[in-house]
């Protein structure tokens, strides 16, 4: 899964780059993610190893986890597309209003400034060398309309003690309701935390975030007592 941000524009998508390592198995490239195929695969299960390397200041460990195929249903809350959509979505989740997006942005910038020595080697910029400095990056990110990235999500996950699930594939069920059996990209998965679910839509240049509120989960038809279909869970565990 590739999600990129260009500095100098105001898209709302975080910059994410796919990267995997599969130990001693044949590899197939699927949607930018390398899938390792086991030497022996049954009709019932397929072992899959996926790693999504998101732009952020930490090493992302490889992880393999099998989960039952589940169809999840969400209510979509529309977010204003003005370059602040990531921060607006977080504000809506935390305060039930989008209007505190400036406060969320400032909070993220403060965290980045205080942890710059840890973050600076992992913040990816396009062609503007000024964004490689603490002052330049923070000044740019403080500006309303500058799109947030996974680095800002990581920052908020630490300051607010929340996790993020990012979905890109949903199916419209009715007005304002969508469902998906996609396993999300997870930022900062930690126990005993609330999770902010986000829908990233549009192309790489014009990506946009909407807030997703879970309604209920329905076990997929592929799964029953004796025949459990499995899918892979992409986890980005940022510690």
DSSP 54-118: ESSSS----B--EEE-EEEEEEEE----SS-HHHHHHHHHHHSSGGGHHHHHHHHHHHHHHTHHH
More confident residue, 173 or 36: 173
Helix, strand, coil fractions of the chain, as percent rounded to 5: 25, 30, 50
Residue at 64 is within a domain: yes
Q: Report yes or no on 1 lying in a domain.
A: no
- Does 123 reside within a domain? yes
pLDDT digits (tens, 9 = 90+) for 215-226: 965 444 333 333
Mean pLDDT of the chain: 71
State yes or no: pLDDT of 208 exceeds 80. yes
Best-predicted range by mean pLDDT among 80-94, 126-140, 145-159, 182-196?
Answer: 80-94
Confidence of residue 8 (pLDDT cuts 50, 70, 90): very low
Decide if 10 is inside a domain: no
Residue 7 lies in a domain: no
The pLDDT assigned to 216 comes to 67
Average pLDDT on 125-144 reads: 87
* Section 226-238 average pLDDT: 41
CATH number of domain containing 213: 3.90.70.80
- Of all residues in the chain, the percent with pLDDT exceeding 70 is 57
Residue 4 within a domain: no
pLDDT, tens digit, 9 for 90 and up, residues 103-131: 999 999 999 999 998 878 767 766 678 88
pTM for the model: 0.64
What is the span of the domain harbouring residue 212?
Answer: 16-236
Where does the pLDDT of residue 150 fall: very low under 50, low under 70, confident under 90, or very high at 90 and above?
A: confident
Residue 146 lies in a domain: yes
Is residue 165 in a domain?
yes
Can you tell me whether residue 87 is helix, strand or coil? helix
> What value does the mean pLDDT take over residues 28-48?
40
Domain count, the chain: 1
């Amino acid at each position: 899964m590739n999600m990129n941000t260009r500095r100098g524009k105001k898209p709302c998508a975080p910059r994410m780059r796919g990267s995997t390592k599969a130990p001693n198995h044949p590899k197939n490239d699927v949607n930018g993610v390398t899938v390792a195929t086991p030497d022996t695969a049954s009709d019932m299960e397929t072992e899959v190893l996926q790693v999504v390397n998101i732009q952020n200041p930490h090493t992302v460990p490889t992880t393999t986890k099998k989960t039952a195929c589940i169809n999840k249903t969400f209510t979509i809350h529309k977010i204003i597309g003005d370059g602040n959509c990531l921060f607006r979505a977080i504000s809506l989740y935390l305060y039930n209003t989008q209007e505190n997006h400036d406060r969320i942005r400032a909070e993220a910038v403060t965290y980045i400034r205080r942890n710059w020595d840890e973050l600076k080697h992992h913040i990816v910029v396009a062609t503007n060398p000024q964004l490689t400095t603490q002052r330049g990056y923070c000044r740019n990110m403080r500006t309303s309309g500058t799109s947030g990235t996974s680095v800002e999500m990581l920052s908020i996950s630490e300051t607010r003690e929340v996790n993020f699930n990012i979905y890109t594939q949903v199916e419209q069920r009715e007005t304002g309701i969508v469902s998906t059996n996609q396993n999300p990209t997870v930022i900062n998965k930690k126990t005993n935390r609330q999770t902010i679910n986000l829908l990233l839509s549009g192309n790489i240049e014009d990506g946009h975030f909407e807030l997703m509120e879970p309604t209920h989960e329905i076990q997929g038809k592929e799964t029953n007592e004796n025949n459990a279909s499995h899918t892979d869970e992409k986890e980005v565990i940022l510690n």
